[in-house]
């Protein structure tokens, strides 16, 4: 734990110096434009945390700097592709499709008639577009590949020299996950699962850090997307299913030490155990999603208070801004800790679940 706290101390100082001020400035710049209209805190927060078909970077005056993304639709047996800029931020229709900006279909691509009106009874096209979260996912994976190829190249170039700087930090993280998380949780067979768990940890960790950075290619709520956390949890779930030994499944079907009337005629305990197996990935999915999303909402909420009170009275806005800025910076620092802890907890729980599936259970009768 001493090494863990030393590492967190270094990372916190680094990101506090470079990213916390930028986070605050970016949030204020983006909400200033909304304040000039009719500020809606809920709308501003949701625009930051939900996925989108374009990447809104910043606004210079009244000009929005946006990165358009590819639109890929599968509709009526054909594939339709074009650029999201054709929608002009949802104002125009293109090729019979439109990006809805309000109502029940907000954020979805719908079919429209010749007048650009939504055809209510029309089936929605299958949307396979490269959205903001998808692009952020590719960026995170590319970043991981670059980092580890660089570290591997350093080891290959100087195999006998002690690692330095960034290489040393990556090696420390790898050793920490291996020696303090995976090995104690799984046991002798840990090496089989180590590559997956290391990939899991670094992907979540770097994605969380990118989410804190307010400028491109950061600022995306990737691990706060329930679809991303669901896929990560399903990977863990599938590995548990295929790794479970005979004793693991026997323990679920015929739990030792439990009275027979809880198994026959109604298999109450097996049902409870099976529900427990299913809820494990669900807990992983919701925990990561909720914690990351909550952090973004709280920071944006504090910034939004400035403009809410500013609309009431300018003096009140300035007064609240002092408190909001302090709390926003504090939450920004706390988000750095959360970025590491959520990756750590997800990896630790996955390791424990693997260890439970591989454990050789000792029956109660052998100890009695």
- Residue the block writes with tokens 């806005």: 317
pLDDT in tens, 309-368: 777 777 776 777 777 777 777 777 888 888 999 999 999 999 999 998 888 755 444 443
- Determine the pLDDT at residue 173: 93
For 121, what's the count of Cα atoms within 13 Å in the CB-facing half-sphere?
Answer: 0
Distances (CA, A) of 210 to 120, 139, 207, 300: 39, 10, 5, 17
Which range has highest mean pLDDT (1-15, 112-126, 194-208, 271-285)? 194-208
Two tokens, residue 189: 């067979």
Out of 11-25, 166-180, 286-300, least confident range? 11-25
Q: What is the strand order of the sheet 97-99 is part of?
A: 93-94, 97-99, 109-111
Round the average pLDDT of the chain to a whole number and report it.
Answer: 81
What is the pLDDT confidence band of residue 288, given thresholds at 50, 70 and 90?
Answer: very high
Residues 55-106 have pLDDT tens digits of 887 777 777 788 889 999 998 889 999 998 888 888 888 888 998 888 788 8
pLDDT band, very low/low/confident/very high, at 162 (cuts 50, 70, 90)? confident
pLDDT at residue 291 is higher than 60: yes
Q: Are 205 and 222 in contact (CB under 8 A)?
A: no
| In the predicted structure, residue 12 carries a pLDDT above the cut 60 | no
User: What is the C-alpha to C-alpha distance for residues 221 and 12, in angstroms, rounded to an integer?
Assistant: 20
Domain residue spans in the chain? 70-127, 132-362
pLDDT band at 6 (very low <50, low <70, confident <90, very high): low
Backbone angles phi and psi of 75, in degrees to 5: -145, 125
pLDDT at 8 over 70: no
pTM of this structure: 0.80
So what's the pLDDT on residue 167? 86
Position 14 scores a pLDDT of 42
**% residues pLDDT > 90 (the chain):** 30
């Amino acid at each position: 734990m001493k090494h863990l706290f030393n590492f967190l101390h270094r990372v916190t100082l680094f990101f506090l110096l470079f990213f916390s001020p930028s986070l605050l400035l970016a949030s204020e710049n983006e909400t200033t434009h909304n304040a000039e209209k009719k500020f809606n805190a809920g709308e501003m927060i949701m625009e930051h945390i939900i996925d989108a078909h374009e990447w809104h970077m910043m606004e210079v005056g009244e000009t929005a700097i946006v990165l358009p993304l590819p639109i890929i639709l599968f509709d009526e047996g054909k594939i339709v592709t074009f650029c999201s800029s054709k929608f002009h931020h949802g104002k125009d229709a293109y090729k019979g499709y439109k990006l809805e900006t309000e109502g029940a279909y907000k954020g979805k691509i719908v079919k429209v008639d010749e007048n650009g009106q939504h055809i209510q009874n029309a089936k929605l096209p299958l949307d396979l577009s490269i959205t903001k979260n998808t692009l952020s996912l590719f960026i995170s994976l590319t970043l991981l590949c670059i980092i580890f190829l660089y570290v591997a190249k350093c080891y290959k170039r100087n195999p006998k020299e002690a690692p330095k700087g960034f290489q040393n930090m990556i090696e420390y993280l790898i050793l920490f996950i291996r020696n303090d998380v995976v090995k104690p949780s799984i046991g002798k067979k840990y090496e089989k699962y180590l590559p997956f768990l290391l990939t899991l940890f670094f992907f979540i960790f770097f994605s969380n850090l990118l989410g804190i950075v307010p400028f491109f290619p950061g600022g995306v709520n990737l691990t706060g997307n329930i679809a991303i956390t669901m896929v990560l949890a399903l990977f863990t779930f599938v590995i548990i299913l295929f790794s479970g030994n005979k004793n693991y499944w026997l323990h679920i079907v015929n739990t030792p030490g439990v009275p027979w009337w809880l198994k026959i005629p109604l298999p109450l305990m097996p049902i409870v155990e099976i529900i427990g197996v299913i809820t494990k990935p669900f807990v992983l999915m919701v925990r990561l999603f909720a914690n990351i999303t909550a952090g973004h909402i709280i920071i944006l909420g504090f910034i939004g208070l400035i403009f809410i009170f500013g609309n009431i009275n300018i003096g009140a806005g300035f007064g609240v801004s002092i408190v909001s800025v302090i709390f926003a910076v504090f939450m920004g620092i706390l988000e750095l800790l959360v970025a590491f802890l959520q990756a750590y907890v997800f990896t630790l729980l996955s390791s424990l679940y693997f260890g439970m599936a591989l454990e050789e259970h000792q029956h109660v009768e052998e100890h009695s």
